[in-house]
Amino acid sequence: RAKVEGGGVARRFDPELFAAAEQRRLAEADLLRGIEAGEFEVHYQPIVDLDGGHTVGVEALVRWQHPVQGLVPPAVFLDLAESLGMLPRLGGWVLEEACRQAIGWQTRFPGFELNVNLSASQLGNPKLIDEVRAILEQTGLPPQDLVLELTESVALTDLVESARVLSALKSLGVRIALDDFGTGFSSLSHLSSLPVDVIKIDRSFVQAMPESGDASVAEAVMHIARTFNLSPVAEGIENAEQASRLRDLACGRAQGYHFARPMPAGGVTELLDKQGVPIQTL
């Protein structure tokens, strides 16, 4: 049994704890190696106009093309990367890469929109505004076609500071979206104090909509959007039923496996080629 409290704390050797710490060290080293080796890539999930059914933009989603594990989703590495302070660098790379891609799509489809996620550490990074400005200038992407997404939990951690940073971002001309909307409880009382343009209705509400029956939560969120004059985007649409119910609720835009999964840039180019029609911009 462990003893010696006070001066130094001697703990009993715990093989599980040791294994976990060792695991984390390995993951850390692997992550650093992966970043150095340029193993990260950006995939894009189409965002569609629910009325016309056509793609009007994409959300950039980072992936790790791991030499052994294959394509690794962000749920596996983002928290670690964030805790290691790597997100400003990795996220900056994602933003630049995605803006370059988007400007390519825009040459044929002016107004094509790009959504990019920001992490807590990116929002807290004093260089963020200059970085976004520089990337917009270098790539030539019109600021109004860039939407930066933040989760409620990130935006609400320090409301005053968030409002300041978001205002500075908006002064560049970009738009702000609250991601996974409805999953943070304090959101409503603070919604009016943040300069937000878009709310992304969390997929848990979309998927909670019964096949037949009422859609009261999704309906309530749509009401909130209208009240605060925010453009709603529904996330996680997986079937035609959900799509048509949201259309009935006058939700303009949606994203989900029903329309398209996240895909490499080439897939979006093909999709736009097939679609052919010009994008209706907001």
**Residues in contact with Mg ion by the rule CB under 5 A:** 117, 149, 179-180, 235
For the record, the structure tokens of 54 come out as: 């056509």
Q: Count how many residues are written for the chain.
A: 282
Q: Taking the complex as a whole, how short is the minimal distance between the CB of residue 4 and ligand C2E, in angstroms?
A: 42
Distance (Å) of CA 143 to CA 110, 113, 137, 140, 170: 13, 10, 9, 9, 9
Q: Compute the C-alpha angle 250/255/258, nearest 5°.
A: 100
Q: Is 46 in the site for ligand C2E (CB under 6 A)?
A: no
**Cβ closer to ligand C2E: 45 or 106?**
45
Q: Is 78 in the site for ligand C2E (CB under 6 A)?
A: yes
**Cβ closer to Mg ion: 97 or 179?**
179
Q: Taking the complex as a whole, how short is the minimal distance between the CB of residue 54 and ligand C2E, in angstroms?
A: 17
Q: Is 240 in the site for ligand C2E (CB under 6 A)?
A: no
What does the alpha-carbon distance between residue 92 and residue 120 come to, in Å, rounded to a whole number? Answer: 13
Distance (Å) of CA 155 to CA 20, 29, 89, 167: 31, 30, 20, 12
Alpha-carbon dihedral 221, 254, 75, 69, rounded to 10 degrees: 160
**Cβ closer to ligand C2E: 19 or 128?**
128
**Cβ closer to ligand C2E: 10 or 259?**
259
Q: Is 236 in the site for ligand C2E (CB under 6 A)?
A: yes
Q: Is 169 in the site for ligand C2E (CB under 6 A)?
A: no
Q: Is 238 in the site for ligand C2E (CB under 6 A)?
A: yes
- By a kind-dependent CB cut-off of 5 to 8 A, residue 34 interacts, out of ligand C2E, Mg ion, none, with none
Q: Is 264 in the site for ligand C2E (CB under 6 A)?
A: no
CB environment 227-244: b (16+ within 10 A), e (fewer): eeebbbbbbbbeeeebbe
Q: Is 182 in the site for ligand C2E (CB under 6 A)?
A: no
Q: Taking the complex as a whole, how short is the minimal distance between the CB of residue 256 and ligand C2E, in angstroms?
A: 3
DSSP string, 80-127: HHHHTT-HHHHHHHHHHHHHHHHHHHHHHSTT-EEEEE--HHHHT-TT
Task: Give the binding site for ligand C2E (CB under 6 A).
Answer: 45, 60-62, 73-75, 78, 91, 94, 117-119, 149, 179-180, 203, 235-238, 255-257, 262
